[in-house]
Structure 1
Amino acid sequence: MSLLPSTQTLPLPRELPQRQRLADELHARPFETLASPGRVLSVATLRAGVAQDAQCLAHLAELDPAAPDAMGTTHVRLQWRGLRIKWERHTEFFSLSIFCERGEHGRGGTFDTGWLDVLPSGWLARLPGEMVSATLVALQPCAGEPPHVREVAPLFGGEPVVGNRIADGAATVMTDLRTVEGVTRFLVFDHRLNRRRAGRTVQRLVEIDTYRMMALLSLPLAARRMGELGAEESQLASLMERFRGAAEGDEALLAELVSLAARVEQALADHGARFSATRAYSGIVDRRMAELREVLLPGLQPLSEFLDRRFRPAVDSCAATAARQAELSGRIARAAQLLQTRSEVERERQNQALLASLDRRQGMQLRLQETVEGLSVIAMSYYGVGLAGYALKPLAKAAGINEVWLVGALVPVVVGVVMWNLRRLRRHLASAH
């Protein structure tokens, strides 16, 4: 089998316009390699909007005018006087990582930052956006066992140190996860890491620190919302108590319930994305911790255990706030539906009473109509007999018939004709409707 590179071009169908971009997504943010002794400083700043992307690219152009400046650029790599700089644009933040290996810039104390002095004065402080995390990782060669925690603790100011073996025992990490002068520090002892593995390990530590800070952005919001949710739940309970007592009209209760629902839905719209981001970021922290592949180091509290005891409760508090907020919205919706149902039942009862009243009124009108019809028969018969008498009296006189008997004989005939006509008219109207 030949291992020579192919020089042939394979004819393929017309590809999807976004196919190449989708295929390159797996390689969009490759790990940087690193050798010990080495130093990495990573700074994450919040991204306020698309307009800030151009500011970041312009800031990078101060070091390298050839740096990409196209809108939509997600990562930039450049060199500056022995330092390697990598910038990345994420959904909510920017990250800038500066790598230093050996040489003049690698000298000094473990967490000294003199190697950054080669950057232009104030360049780092002028990064666009508000800083959310700054992580300093020191990678030190260590052929044998790592120093005891008592020897390492002074580097962290005597604070309690946590850590463990990572990368299947190929390295040891120690940290206090405290922010000193704005920076969280990690010390990594390199037992048998190659350059690529060291770069991946350092990147995972940086991402654990960055994403835990991004996840905790909703913690102050959760604390504030907890108090507001307590007041809103109390208001809902009061509304339901008044609803059960039916001491006032449903219209007033419904108006207050709609106002409460509007406040809760507004809070959901304002804070739902933040709580969802916390859930996503905490998931990334968990995955990065799993990728470290920890091996317990006797006498040292594991990093994962420390995060579980301190970081996880904060994330759970944010999740509980989000769940409580969604549950309250559902309870309000059910209360509104219940109130609306009772209002509809009350309206149906009123409609039934109104229909019964209409039925009674219609019956009275029918009886009155029948009475009026009886009077109408009498009146029309009276006038009919009178008119017929005027017409027949001359004939009766000529025939020698008594006029009184003639009028008496006309009465039943006229009454019958009038009643027959009224009934025929009533049947005609009934059939028309």
Structure 2
Amino acid sequence: MPEFTDHPLRYQLSNELHARPFPTAHAPGRAVYLVVRKENHAASRDKSEDLAHLIDLLDRYGAAHPQPGATHHSAQIGKHNLKWESHTEVVTYSVFMDGLGERPFDPADFDVFPKDWLASAPGQRVTSALVRVETPPEEERLSHALQEWFVPESLAVSHVLEGAAIVAGDFRIDPAGHVRFAVFPGEGTGASRVGRILQRICEIELYKSLSMLGFARSRELGPVLGALDDRLSDLMNRMTDETVPADETLQALLAISAELEAQSATSSFRFGATGAYEAIVLQRIEMLRESHFNGRQSWHEFMIRRYDPAMRTVKSTERRLANMAERAMRASELLRTRIEVERSAQNQSQLEAMNKRAELQLRLQETVEGLSVVAISYYAVSLAGYLAYPFGKSLGISKEWVLAGLTLPVVLLVAWALHRMRSRLGAQH
């Protein structure tokens, strides 16, 4: 009996669900977060370069290497815990440290990544963040700290997970080049739950930054689409001008259509990824289950005021690009129809001219046939006369009467023979 077998990917796909566990973090503590992305063709990059760069960092700390082809890895680097992940477009490095350091959001914490190692990265920094984790101080001291650490007009603070912690951030880049976040776990909030909060904060920053690449692309496309829109509108107005050659207008429309398709091809992945990243950002914020902290704006409200307009711009640009391509296609189809109608009218005129020429040829042919009957009959009567002269002389009929008697039968015979010949030729065609 054949054995019952497993699908070859069964264990791999099942393990993938558990491949990226949440980190654990204790209070007081801090975290450093780094996102690296290749400038061009990030999704199709050579991921072995990312692994080689990770191994270089691990070797500097004498840490164990990841498995070949790994997409995630955790290791101890010195006194700190490193978590590395490979995503579709980026790689992320999260380093978790114990204690609060010498001062809040100390740029020296980022020195866990050596400068020469950062310079050799196979990509560019998309974002980096410093996260401070400490038990919440008294309310007055907490409010003072938030005012000191963050930009008040951008500060978003809220209770999360039914009061399990307070999270704060302003999503601004500080003078050292990092975004700042603060987490204040409540009493009884375990290290695993703090780790999940940290992970969600980092994911919000990651996918927010990646989705803003679509906003940058939409801003680049704005002037390009504006110029193309003006050209397209001008060409559509020219379509109603009968003095402008339709072929010339069609060629210009096809050129615009080709340019729009090229822009759509180069932007489709970016806009599609932006939509997916936006959904993840909103989902991660929803998972925090926020409630207001002292009447301040929540993270969700911050995203509605600051982030949502940018995403709406991306969607508007995507729709505009698609609508312009559709307009150009419809205009081209209308112009093709007009050209086909004009060509049909020209063909009809040519057919009518051909019919007239055929009628003239037929009349000329009939005239030629009549003349041919006369010419052939003339020679036939002459020949027949030579044959009939002896008989007419013996009967006492003069030469003139012999020719007169032969003329009518010969003419009829020649006419009948030519008619029969023409009928046979017509039947063959």
Same fold (TM > 0.5): yes
- The aligned counterpart of 2:105 is 111
* Secondary structure, counterpart of 1:245 in structure 2: coil
Counterpart-to-counterpart distance in 2, 1:399 and 1:127: 130
Aligned: 1:239 with 2:235:
yes
Cα pair 1:75 1:88 within 8 Å, conserved: yes
Secondary structure at the aligned position of 2:166 is classed as: strand
- Distance apart, 1:151 and its partner CA: 4.2
Distance 1:160 1:257 in 2: 47
SS at match of 2:169: strand
Of residues 141-150 and 199-208 in structure 1, the stretch that sits farther from structure 2 once superposed is 141-150
1:348 is the counterpart of 2:344: yes
Which residue of structure 2 aligns with residue 15 of structure 1? 6
User: 1:195 aligned to 2:186?
Assistant: no
Matched, 1:84 2:70: no
**How far 1:123 sits from its partner (Å)?**
4.3
Q: Where does residue 21 of structure 2 map in the other structure?
A: 30
Matches within 5 A, 1:220-231: 220-231=216-227
Task: Work out whether 1:131 is the aligned partner of 2:125.
Answer: yes
Does 2:160 match 1:166? yes
Deviations 1:188-241 (A, max 9, x none): 110132222211111000111111111111323212211111111110111111
Structure 1 position 183 matched with structure 2 position 178: yes
Overall identity of the aligned pairs, in %? 37
Q: 2:251: which partner in 1?
A: 255
Given that 2:31 and 2:96 are in contact with CA atoms closer than 8 Å, whether structure 1 keeps it comes out as: yes
Which residue, out of 356, 360, 365, partners 1:369? 365
- In the alignment, what sits opposite 1:8? none
User: Does the C-alpha gap of structure 1 residues 325 and 36 become closer, same or farther in structure 2, counting only changes over 3 Å?
Assistant: same
For residues 401 and 277 of structure 1, the distance between their equivalents in structure 2, rounded to whole angstroms, comes to 114
Note the alpha carbon deviations across 1:323-352, whole angstroms, 9 max, x for none.
111111111111111111111111100000
**CA distance 1:146–1:346, change in 2 (3 Å):** farther
Aligned mate of 1:290, from 272, 286, 302: 286
Task: Rate the CA distance shift 1:22–1:53 in 2: closer, same or farther, 3 A.
Answer: same
The equivalences for 1:201-350 within 5 A come to 201-350=197-346
Alignment match, 1:98: 95
Query: Is residue 42–residue 95 contact of structure 1 (8 Å, CA) maintained in 2?
Result: yes
What's the RMSD between the two structures over aligned residues?
2.2
Write the distance in 2 (CA, Å) between the matches of 1:283 and 1:118: 32
Taking the aligned partners of 1:379 and 1:85, their CA distance within structure 2 comes to 114
* Unmatched 5+ stretches in structure 1: 1-10
- Which consecutive residues of structure 2, in runs of 5 or more, have no partner in the other structure? none
TM-score normalised per structure 2: 0.92
User: For residue 34 of structure 2, what is the aligned residue in structure 1?
Assistant: 43
The count of residues paired between Structure 1 and Structure 2 equals 419
Secondary structure at the residue paired with 2:239? helix
Could you tell me how far apart the structure 2 residues matched to 1:354 and 1:280 are?
59
Q: Is the 8 A contact 2:63 2:77 kept in 1?
A: no
Q: What residue is the counterpart of 1:53 in the other structure?
A: 50
Which deviates further from its counterpart, 163-172 or 256-265?
Answer: 256-265
Local SS of the residue matching 1:27:
coil
Mapped to 1, the partners of 2:178 and 2:11 lie a distance apart of 38
Distance 1:198 1:41, change over 3 A: same
**Structure 1 residue 298: Cα displacement:** 2.9
Q: Which amino acid aligns with 1:299?
A: G
